[in-house]
Amino acid sequence: MRNANVQRSRLNVQQTALGDVEGWRLNVGRFSKRLAIAAIALSIAIPSLAQNTPAPSDPPRDLTVLILGDSLGLCGFGKRLDQKFRADPRVKSVFTYCTCGTNPLSWLKEKPFTHIQTHCGYWSIESRPDSHATKELHDTYGMTSGHRPTSHPVPKLDDLLATIQPDILVMQTGGNLFGLFSGREKVKPDRDGPMLRKYLVPFVKKAITPPSKLRKIYWVAPPTSGKVSSEVQEFVFAQTQKDIGSVTHVMDSRKLISYPYKHMEPDKEHFIGEDMNRWADKVWGEIDRDLSAQSWSNVRPLSTSSRVS
């Protein structure tokens, strides 16, 4: 199994303005069957999760949570974080969608991503109305011998905001944006800054535009990648913080989980197992601390209190 071909998603991205990215297509790339099989087993064997109780002075929040993720989400992060939220008494419902090969713009209806699909893995976990039950669609490599995932439309943020009406959004993304640098180790700030901004700001603007009810956005930046220079990774994080940090709570995952990872794939970017669980747990801990820092009744909708330019 260790010699199995590893497939993962790669994005063919343009390094110019948004109008030049029509050539963007989701690429199956290299994404491991062994990774997918192990992720399935780990998701089944996730240990019991500690429940956190809100402060007595704070009434039940009855929160609805939306989690979006990319291929790292498919490796176990999405499932683990989903269960953390479901175990919290403040949360009424959770909707999780992880799609291989996505970037922030993939979730919007604007061209050229209007009808974009993922071909290398999809996982959704949705709360059922008025029930603790969930509806789950899991389609990844290796679920059965020789299984290959079918194509799935990438859910659109516009529709999710309207139908789910979430209070909280967790966005796990950013690793695929490293492809914008085409293997460069050095950064060209004057060009790369505006290029990244075109992938970050439109998503956040859509997320806080009425009728959005979002009050919190947690932006989970990628953990350390072994295939991208530290200069590029630092620039991507710093630019993310600069462009959307006034509206979102940006988390630097490089500080939450150490590299190299156990059970790491040959691409030096995807990993599974205890390190993946540890990363999700630490992200949850940071979210929990932030949510517990003030009464929910004092948290205003982002559509009325935040702006991003």
CA distance 39 to 274: 11
Query: Directed axis angle between helix 78-86 and helix 33-44, to 10°?
Result: 20
Instruction: State the number of CA atoms in the 13 A half-sphere of 61 facing the CB.
Output: 28
pLDDT in tens, 60-88: 659 999 999 999 999 999 999 999 999 99
Q: What is the pLDDT of residue 59?
A: 53
Give residue 142's pLDDT.
77
Looking at residue 6, what DSSP letter applies?
A: P
CA 12/CA 176 separation, integer angstroms: 10
How far is 88 from 110, CA to CA, in rounded Å?
A: 35
Secondary-structure breakdown of the chain: helix, strand, coil percentages, each rounded to the nearest 5: 35, 20, 45
CA–CA dist 207, 291 (Å, integer): 19
Distance CA 235, CA 232 (A): 5
Given this model, what pLDDT does residue 16 score? Answer: 36
* Residue 180 to residue 104: CA distance in whole angstroms: 13
**pTM (two decimals):** 0.83
Average pLDDT (143-156) is 93
CATH numbers and ranges of domains, the chain: 33-46+61-93+158-304 (3.40.50.1110)
> Which runs of E-coded beta strand occur in 26-89?
26-30, 63-69
Whether the CB-CB separation of 157 and 107 falls below 8 Å is answered with: yes
